[in-house]
Chain A
């Protein structure tokens, strides 16, 4: 059973701080990793994809992947109250390319 684990939170950070979200996965053969942001009552929005070991930066977001440790993380710099949402880690885990989601981490950014 392929699994993706996330700390459910809530993770609370002050405005302007760095928020660090973490995810581990069980399938060592996984190659593709995604972070989605989901506001309450809305659908998931893709914010980052990462396929290679190392860091990938996009604006205030940095995704980090370590395949040896089966670990992927998302850093949000200069956190804003508008970043308050649930962040879903997803891994391509099936032979047909379906996403396996973690349970999500709820982030709260306090003004």
Chain B
């Protein structure tokens, strides 16, 4: 089973709202990732958690705040977003960082109005 689940599938939020994206995997993977993908562009890495510790933060604005409550769950808290933050937000997981295959969830389509 290579399933990564994400909720919600779609989210529309205003610039003053606070919302959270959720990701879950039950494959026993120890690395989890958040990517952002704009239309007709490849995914861009935002954050990497390895063994529940944040190991990469790709200079993402502080209006995005990741959280890894346990090895199966990954959240992305959103606050005071801008319209240009509208994108597909993808969660992925892998057995570890490095050479391991990464499996993506279905994504959350975020629209900021």
Q: Which residues of A contact B (CB under 8 A)?
A: 31-32, 34, 36, 42-46, 49, 51, 88, 92, 94, 96-99, 101-104
Contacts and interface: CB of A to CB of B under 8 A. Distances in A.
Contacts of B103: 46
Main secondary structure on A side of the interface with B: loop
B104 A45 contact: yes
Given A42-B106, A43-B90, A103-B42, A49 B98 contact: no
Contact of B50 (A42, A96, A102): A96
A42 B43 CA distance: 12
Contact of A44 (B31, B97, B104): B104
Interface residues of B, number: 26
A65 to B, nearest CB: 13
B58 to A, nearest CB: 8
A45 B107 CA distance: 12
B107 to A, nearest CB: 5
Contacts of B45: 98-99
B24 to A, nearest CB: 15
Interface string B91-111: 000101111111111110000
A43 B99 contact: no
A46 B43 CA distance: 13
